[in-house]
Amino acid sequence: MAVLLDIASWALLSIGGAFVFIGGVGALRMPDLYTRIHAASLTDSVGAVLVIFGVMLQAGASLAAIKLAAILLFLLWTSPTASNALASAALLAGLRPGATVASQEERGE
């Protein structure tokens, strides 16, 4: 049983880590701000959720698991909200989706 839990926990941790890595690469490589926000939000939604589930399996039924659940709930509330606030602030500032690639190349970025 303990071995199964360990395997499940490590699988969750690795998949979560992979998502964090993909999110990091995407935040650097995506062409404009909105796609970058999309990639970065992957990090703290799917990635963080999987990692916390993995750590919860390691913690077992204890106070630490409840604290991790509270952290998970907090992350699920805040990180999509932060992504949304960032994207709508960019939209309000006049940055149009899809129109930035050409202008960035003109500026030589």
Partner 1 sequence: MTVLFGVFLLTLMVITALAIVRTPNLFVAVILTSIFSLLMASNFFLLDAADVALTEAAIGAGISTVLFLGALALTGDHERASTSNRLLAMSVVAVTALIVIYATFDKPRFGDPLAPVHQHVSPWYLERTPEVIDIPNVVTAVLASFRGYDTLGEVFVVFTAGIGVLFLFGARPMHKSGSPEIKTTAPDLGLRHYLIPRVVGRLLIPFILLFGLYVQFHGDYGPGGGFQAGAIVAVAVILYALLEGEAQALRVLPQRVLTGLMAAGALLYGAVGVAGMLLGGNFLDYSVLAANPITGQHIGILLIEAGVGITVTGVLLSVFHAFAARGTH
Q: Is residue 88 a contact residue for partner 1 (CB under 8 A)?
A: yes
Per the structure block, which two tokens stand in for 60?
Answer: 């077992």
**Helical H runs in the chain?**
2-29, 33-42, 48-59, 63-92, 100-107
The answer to whether 74 and 44 are in contact (CB under 8 A) is no
- Judged by CB under 8 A, does residue 62 bind partner 1? no
By CB under 8 A, name the one of 14, 84, 103, 104 that touches partner 1: 84
Site for partner 1 (CB under 8 A): which residue of 85, 97, 104, 105? 85
Task: Report if residue 78 touches partner 1, rule: CB under 8 A.
Answer: yes
Least distance CB 84 / partner 1 (angstroms):
5
Residue 77 within binding range of partner 1, rule CB under 8 A = yes
Burial class (CB in 10 A: 0-12, 13-18, 19+), 9: middle
Residues lying near partner 1 in the complex (CB under 8 A)? 74, 77-78, 81, 84-85, 88
